[in-house]
Structure 1
Amino acid sequence: MFSPLHSTYHDDYDGGRTFHVQHTFKKENPAARRIRLDRKEHVRMAFIHAWNGYKEHAWLHDEVMPLSGGSKDPFDGWAATLVDSLDSLYILGLQKEFEHALAALESIDFSKPNAERVPVFEITIRYLGGLLGAFDVSDGKYPVLLQKADQLGEFLINAFNTPNGIPVPYFWWQRENERLDGEAGVVIAQIGSLSLEFTRLAQLTGKRKYFDAISKVTDHLDHAQNNTRIPGLWPSQIDTKAPSFEGSAFTLGAYADSLYEYLPKEHILLGGQTNQYLRMYRNALAAATKHHFFQPKTPGNQDILFPGSLDAQNEAPSLRTEVQHLACFVGGMVGLGSRITHSISELKTAIKLTESCVWAYQNTASGIMPEIFYIDQCPAEGSCDWGHENVEPGHQHGFTSVADASYQLRPEAIESVFVLYRITGDPVWQDKGWDMFQAIIKYTTTAIANARLDDVTSSNPLQADSMESFWLAETLKYFFLLFSEPDLVSLDDYVL
């Protein structure tokens, strides 16, 4: 999602604070420019190939099936890939495709889902985020985008109608007379990753109720943050009735990832007019640095950091050295936060966290990072010497086991690489990203679009018949922006 930093929900907005996030780039030499533009065009052609496959085989459905040419509708059948990719189409300069998609958008009624159950979090990030992002990057030239976003917002706000204001994770919208109440076992990201979209909707429509709704959720999270089993962090699942945050499993990956990601971004989006989100982020970062981040034992003794998972059933939290592709956003998050706080040490941490995911890409036979793997932790004291024969990357050496060898076309690693490039200006990140792109395209491309992979530890991974909307909406967008001119979607002007 993209959000220009030039408006707010406040009636008395005075401009807020401007955050200088991006590196000040110098003039590019001709040779570097030729390489960059060639890479940019390769990304653009990959996007067009996948978009055309969706358009031909699954138009107005949520997802295309890139092997069979079929379609599926896991997100209420409102054309998730189309809506989620609108801002990407505009950013890539595909104006005719963008306007064709807008014409199709007119036919979608966001007040009437094509399913009984609405997953509030997924609908918010894929649809509401897609509509608002496209409205913002196109400078508000297409009113239909905001109209549809407001229509969807008016529908989704009903999910917040609970006794304590925390939305239900799944909204059975046709049960008009059924009371909405809290539930046990709710994934923390489902309630903690709605703030950017609802805040931006409030800013653009002037409807304060959207911001008020999300602020109630934030207040619950704020109140609980220092009263969990690991103060500063939230458990991955909670009971939203009270609410209760007594869970003992903690992660920065699946179930919790975007909750943390949104904290510094929301601070920037609000122009620093409140310190609530920044304070929550700072508390979370301190706890994550202490408990989650660990140096792995690797061939070549890499100076990198991974975020692991935590078990807090006992008095002292115990670390599980589980590494998730989903958690690769953390490097970019810490990098962005370092620009808010002007912290050189945090930037160094961000670099180590991002380098770890790049290393994980390099360390498989396919050149693509697995979804989940385990790796040994360096000792708390003394040297962290690999102690074995030094081997070249690409052989899974260092991984103690691979729990999920798939690649699901995820954007988290390239998002952090892109952010690190934009805030440091170091072209080495473009080279790292290019290696990632080449490997991904080599193995995921089908005759129709791009497919998830079953086993990236294989030198010839099998493809699966799935392509989620974030492939076009995020992954390829970040690759494209990595090789674009730095002022295209500048991080000084937009929140992604």
Structure 2
Amino acid sequence: MRPSRAAELRQETVDMFYHGFDNYMNIAFPEDELRPVSCTPLTRDPHNPRNVELNDVLGNYSLTLIDSLSTLAILASAPPDSKRTGPKALSDFYDGVAALVTQYGDGRAGPSGRGVRGRGFDVDSKVQVFETVIRGVGGLLSAHLFAVGELPITGYDPQNADIDIEEHPIAWPNGFKYDGQLLRLALDLAQRLLPAFYTQTGMPYPRVNLRHGIPFYVNSPLHENTSLHPRKPEESPEITETCSAGAGSLVLEFTVLSRLTGDPRFEQVAKRAFWAVWSRRSNIGLIGAGVDAEDGHWIGGFSGIGAGIDSFFEYALKTHILLSGHELPNQTIPNHITHESWLDPNQIYSPLSDKDNSPDSFLEAWHHAHAAIKRHLYSDMHHPHYVNAHLSTGSPQTFWIDSLGAYYSGLLTLAGELDEAIETHLLYTALWTRYSALPERWSIRDGNVEGGLGWWPGRPEFIESTYHLYRATQDPWYLYAGEMTLKDITRRCWTECGWSGLQDVRTGEKSDRMESFFLGETAKYLYLLFDADHPLNKLDASYVFTTEGHPLILPRKDISRRPKKVRNEKSLQPYFDDSFTNTCPVPPPLPHLSGSATAARTDLYNAATLIRLHQVPNIHNVMNLDSQPGRSDTDDQRTSVISNHTYFPWTLPQSMLPADGMCIASKQRHTSFIEFPSNTQQSVGSAFNIVFGNSNLIRMGSEGIAVNGLSGLKIGMVLEEPPIASERGWRVYSIGSFLLGRDEKIFISRDILSDISDPLFHRVRDAVLVDILLQIEIPNMVLDHNSTSTDTPSSKTKPIVEVGDSDLGATNIFNSLLQQLTSALREPVATFGPEPAPKIDYKYINIPAITPVGVGVAPLPDILEAPNPNLKANIESLSWRRMYFADQTCQGKLPDVAPKQHQIIVMRRGGCSFSEKLAAIPSFAPHRNGLQLVIVVSDDKESPDEGEEDVGAFNLIRPLLDEEQRTPAGVTRHRPIPMLMVGGGEATWELLKTAKSIGMRRRYHVESQGLTINNLVVL
């Protein structure tokens, strides 16, 4: 984009901001917001306290002015132009601060602290804590940092900012003397929010009254010691549900407030609330949207990246950035105020640790949160997007994206996840291109607005991400995307008295409200996008934008008069993990033909087709389209549309069409569906029927789905490649009416699969691994009719049974769940007469075993497979009862009785080769009571010996039989002896000695079209 065009867009953005700001100041100030359609002020609804959509935000404290001050300070650095944008914005910044102080006082306790509207924010307004912090406290702090020169304004250099400004105020041209009024007002407002933090969990209640506190939350510990204003009837009962974003996204504002004032209360309550949310993440690392502030329980059980959760992730990363290079905070409160109004919620909790305060801990939280999102919420079906999934299982729950989620691409950019940021931003670019705005929710599945939620209130998230991506890549694609956004807002949202939101992006119906964030964020990010040389874009410092778009920074010098106890952070272990992105990648090079690496991506049209752009007219490619304010999507304009969105360049001008452009097929994930015919009779009867009745499927907690029968089932699979999967193969993502999370498994009995012969779904025997089942006698036990005979192995043998992250581990978990379910469903049995006689009971232990390789390998014996003891309660004996223990067998021939009268010979590994061990076994005639298997017990070790193969499972190494089997006389055996090796060393050796009988269970997996179904476990 040529510089002159960027300058034109910059000026159009300035005009857009002032059209809204001037109308607010002339019509609505000192009220909260503006009704741009009816040209009247907009404030809270005193007649309906339950109108939370309005009252949560508006508190009768001139919200729009506070939200706009940092934007004015940014516009004050505009380059010289004919309209004197910079000087005008700086003058308006001076006047805006002065007007605010006139209304609310200067934050002091004396007469100057009372303004026209009251003393500070002493108003009878029940507001949302989160919105008040990010808009009110954050807006005041950001404006203060600009006022004292900590954030840059071109040409503004307050000479006495380095000294105590209360004693030596900064004189402004309008006659106002700035001595920290905004900081004191921020402190006043924040102190009025502290009662909300008196909870058992550390998470704040969602709402607070700026004058009366929280009389409507009767369970707060605050009520034990403090008598507040009685709650009003219309304010009872009050819900205690907050959200992860609302509870965990206060750290930036409250930390800066604490560091500037020397009052640690705010930083500590905000950090404690953040960790209270994070500590409740699920076992797969996801956090929910709704949470109860009193008991800490998740409400709803859904997880995503959008509404209710969004800024929690944002503040995890940005807190690390903000705090990097600064000392740990002082937690000692310099309480010089003895008035009863001094509240400190930290007094009901233990102090935070140094780790809780460390910036590296927040980076660690971000990394783990992002890893969980990428694992469980990120879907690359067609084009990457994020689904809403179940907290515990990761199974998809809804298939819509919301406009708030557009922030995530910008956050990924800050985190160095550039490719993921670019590809996900494309989806929102396509969505904006289709609707000339972002609908609140859009259905991926239906290809339309979800549930009628089609409004766009002027949200900044898409523009915010566009700004960050342009700063990181310098790709002109993002300038043109910004131009499209600016033109659409100008065309669709202009009113005579300001800028409205859209009630429905499809029809262009306007809403009679100009949100404060439209001036505080939307206009700000658009301006910074088009002003590449703005001092904030050149600032080499750890500053961040809050979730409300207010830039914040921690000064390197202590500008507070209060002393702070400094603690050295060097004693803390810095967080680092090689598996996470720890450096920012080099942006993709800009091609010299089109000049846009994004436009040259091979997945460009995957996003377009997912949003169905090719099915709608391209309003952005209209000939002679008049984009003047007030023009809308009228029928006469639609008649001049010359194409849909099938062709390049989407939002880019035709001049960027590559000379050697080509057609690229849209990416399609390889999927497969299998539908089994219905059968009124179950093909195989099993104990599953006892547990599940006639149901074919049942969810087994967070582990996955158990399958009782395949009749009438439909299975959906997707082909996955490394690194997403451990190996190339299928993953079942849907079965019947269930959708599966990425790590969930399908459990199915081998009996159900025994008669199935289908090239798309067939059972395959594992040629490497088998399971050895030990029957261990437990004497002198009285059998309970309601008990099973499958006790959990002792702690001594647990490492043998639960080896690694294997299918065996999943099977054990499944069997345990199944056992509990069987016990719960069984009818109690009444007993009459004398006590039952003592009876022998058994426990069963699985030990994984591995087959050997080499010319001396013999096939395993063809015996009846050992039953699953969790499903078969009455097992008298397994296949083999007679064992001979021979130690290492490297010192000569074994006794003849060993193979003739024993079914299994157990040896220790080591001392000689495996072939030499087998050569020590005398010749014998085959017999059902004779030798059928040799088991070698190995001590676990880290790496294979030369000539051995490590299969990467259970730390077992495949034995090598590198020569044909021979007898002790050196004659080739006519019937080679089967051999298996088990791990566990001495513990396994002792277990085998105590076994009453031993059986063998084959392992199976299911293949489809020659590839393994990786998440299907055959029991």
Q: What TM-score does the superposition give when structure 1 sets the normalisation length?
A: 0.80
Q: Are residues 1:61 and 2:49 paired?
A: no
Change in 2 beyond 3 A, CA 1:472/1:216 = same
Match for residue 265 of structure 1?
Answer: 318
Which residue of structure 1 aligns with residue 197 of structure 2? 160
- Alpha-carbon contact 1:325-1:369 (below 8 Å) kept: yes
Give, in whole Å, the separation in 2 of the partners of 1:100 and 1:354.
38
Q: CA deviation at 1:305?
A: 2.6
Q: Would the alpha carbon gap of residues 328 and 76 (structure 1) be closer, same or farther in structure 2, given more than 3 Å must change?
A: same
Larger Rg: 2
Matched residues in 2 for 1:193 and 1:479: separation? Answer: 24
Match of 1:275 in 2: 360
Aligned 8 A contact 1:324 1:373 in 2 = yes
Q: Which residue is 1:151 aligned to? A: 188
**Deviation at residue 293 of structure 1 after TM alignment:** 2.1
Name the CA shift for 1:223/1:104 in 2 (closer, same or farther; >3 Å).
Answer: same
Counting only pairs closer than 5 Å after superposition, residues 319-398 of structure 1 correspond to structure 2 as: 319-338=397-416, 346-364=417-435, 367-376=436-445, 398=447
Identify if the C-alpha distance between structure 1 residues 372 and 492 changes in structure 2 by more than 3 Å, giving closer, same or farther.
farther
Matched, 1:423 2:499: no
Q: How does 1:64-75 map to 2 (within 5 A)?
A: 64-74=34-44, 75=58
Structure 1 pair 198–176 and aligned structure 2 pair: CA distance change class (3 A): closer
Structure 2 letter corresponding to 1:118: V
Equivalent of residue 472 in structure 1, options 507, 512, 519: 519
Tell me which residue corresponds to 1:103. 98
Alignment gaps of 5+ in structure 2: 45-57, 77-88, 105-117, 151-157, 159-177, 222-238, 326-357, 546-1019
How far has the Cα of 1:175 moved from its partner?
5.7
Distance in structure 2 (CA, Å) of the matches to 1:64 and 1:246: 34
How far apart in 2 are the matches of 1:308 and 1:446?
A: 36
**Mapped pair 1:86 → 2:164:** no
Contact 1:369–1:456 (CA under 8 A) maintained in structure 2: yes
Q: Which amino acid aligns with 1:219?
A: W
* Displacement after TM superposition at 1:481 (Å): 0.4
For 1:64, what is the secondary structure of its paired residue?
strand
Q: Once the 2 structures are TM-superposed, how far is the Cα of residue 179 of structure 1 from its aligned partner?
A: 5.2
Aligned length: 425
- Aligned counterpart in structure 1 of residue 19 of structure 2, from 36, 39, 49: 49
Asked if residue 287 in structure 1 is aligned to residue 287 in structure 2, the reply is no
Partner of 1:385: none
Among 199, 222, 238, the alignment partner of 2:255 is: 199
Question: Using the alignment, how far apart are the partners of 1:211 and 1:401 within structure 2?
Answer: 39
In structure 1, the residue matched to 2:686 is: none
Contact 1:78 1:113 in 2 (8 A): no
Q: CA deviation at 1:153?
A: 2.1
Q: State the SS of the aligned residue for 1:234.
A: coil
1:118 positional shift: 2.7
Partner Cα separation in structure 1 for residue 97 and residue 490 of structure 2: 28
Structure 1: runs of 5+ lacking an equivalent: 1-30, 298-303, 339-345, 377-396
> What's the secondary structure of 2:279's corresponding residue?
helix
Choose from 429, 432, 443 the match for 2:481: 432
Question: % of aligned pairs identical?
Answer: 29
- Alpha-carbon distance in 1 for matches of 2:38, 2:492: 17
Deviation at 1:197, TM superposition (A): 0.5
Cα deviation 1:197-235 (Å, max 9, x = unaligned): 00111121122222111121122123223xx2x632211
Partner of 1:170: 207
Residues 76 and 113 in structure 1, CA contact (< 8 A), matched pair in contact too: no
Q: Distance in 2 between matches of 1:405 and 1:185?
A: 25
- The residue that corresponds to 2:131 in the other structure is 122
Q: Which of 301, 304, 308 in structure 2 is aligned with 1:255?
A: 308
Counterpart-to-counterpart distance in 2, 1:119 and 1:111: 18
Secondary structure, aligned partner of 1:52? helix
Q: Could you say which structure has the greater relative contact order, defined with CA pairs below 8 angstroms and 6 or more residues apart?
A: 1
Contact 2:244-2:277 at 8 Å conserved across structures: no
Deviation string 1:222-268 (CA, Å, 9 cap, x unpaired) is: 3223xx2x632211111222323464111221111111111111110
1:388 counterpart residue number: none
Moved more, 120-129 or 100-109: 100-109
When residues 467 and 246 of structure 1 are mapped into structure 2, their CA distance, relative to the original with a 3 A threshold, is closer
The answer as to whether partners of 1:330 and 1:416 remain within 8 angstroms in 2 is yes
Aligned with 2:498: secondary structure? coil
**2:582 corresponds to:** none
Q: Any conservation in 2 of the 1:325–1:370 contact (CA below 8 Å)?
A: yes
Aligned counterpart for 1:181 among listed residues 217, 220, 225 = 220
Give the secondary-structure state (helix, strand or coil) at the position aligned to 2:535. coil
1-structure distance, mates of 2:505, 2:399: 20
Partners of 1:110 and 1:152 within 8 A in 2: no
Amino acid at match of 2:189: L
Q: Does 1:442 align with 2:483?
A: no
CA distance in 1, matches of 2:384, 2:362: 25
Distance 2:492 2:5 in 1: 23
Structure holding more strand per residue: 2
* Cα distance between partner residues in 2 of 1:168 and 1:162: 7
Aligned alpha-carbon RMSD (Å): 2.3
> Could you tell me whether the CA contact under 8 Å between 1:110 and 1:155 is conserved in 2?
no
Q: Write out per-residue CA displacement over residues 388-412 of structure 1, whole angstroms, 9 at most, x where no aligned residue.
A: xxxxxxxxx9447564121110000
CA distance in structure 1 between the aligned counterparts of 2:527 and 2:219, rounded to whole angstroms:
42
Q: Which amino acid aligns with 1:171?
A: V
Residue 233 to residue 113, structure 1, CA distance change in 2 (3 Å): farther
Deviation at 1:318, TM superposition (A): 1.8
Distance 1:45 1:111 in 2: 32
- Cα distance in structure 2, aligned partners of 1:360 and 1:296: 17
TM superposition shift of 1:122: 0.9
Matched, 1:40 2:14: no
Give the 3-state SS of the residue equivalent to 2:31 in structure 1.
coil
**In the alignment, structure 1 residue 215 sits paired with structure 2 residue 271:** yes
Q: 1:495 to 1:334 in 2, by over 3 A?
A: same
Distance 1:447 1:240, change over 3 A: same
CA contact (8 A) 1:166 1:217 kept: yes
Q: Which residue of 2 aligns with 1:317?
A: 395
Match of residue 385 from structure 2:
306
Distance 1:176 1:470 in 2: 27
SS class of match (1:453) = strand
Change (3 A) 1:356 1:99: same
Matches of 1:327 and 1:280 in 2, distance apart? 19
Go from structure 1 to structure 2 and tell me whether the alpha carbon gap of 1:217 and 1:42 turns closer, same or farther (over 3 Å shift): same
Instruction: Assess, with a 3 A threshold, how the Cα gap between structure 1 residues 348 and 47 changes in structure 2: closer, same or farther.
Output: same
Dislocated runs of 4+, deviation >4 Å: 175-180
For residues 72-102 of structure 1, what are the alpha-carbon distances to aligned partners after superposition, in whole Å with 9 as ceiling and x for unaligned? Answer: 2242110000001100011112022212211
Letter in 2 for 1:62: D
Q: Is the 8 A contact 1:311 1:320 kept in 2?
A: no
Deviates more, 1:115-124 or 1:257-266: 115-124
TM normalised by structure 2 equals 0.40
Is the 2:306–2:402 contact (alpha carbons within 8 Å) kept by the matching residues of 1? Answer: yes
Deviation at 1:161? 2.7
Structure 1 position 485, deviation (Å): 2.6
Distance apart, 1:158 and its partner CA: 3.0
| Equivalent AA in structure 2 for residue 452 of structure 1 | G
In the alignment, the residues of structure 1 paired with residue 263 and residue 317 of structure 2 have an alpha-carbon distance, to the nearest angstrom, of 23
| 3-state DSSP of counterpart to 1:181 | coil
SS of 1:186 mapped into structure 2? strand
Q: Quickly say closer, same or farther: Cα 1:127–1:112, change in 2 above 3 A.
A: closer
Q: 2:584: which partner in 1?
A: none
Q: Aligned equivalents of 1:269 and 1:316: distance in 2?
A: 32
Q: Is the 8 A contact 1:237 1:255 kept in 2?
A: yes
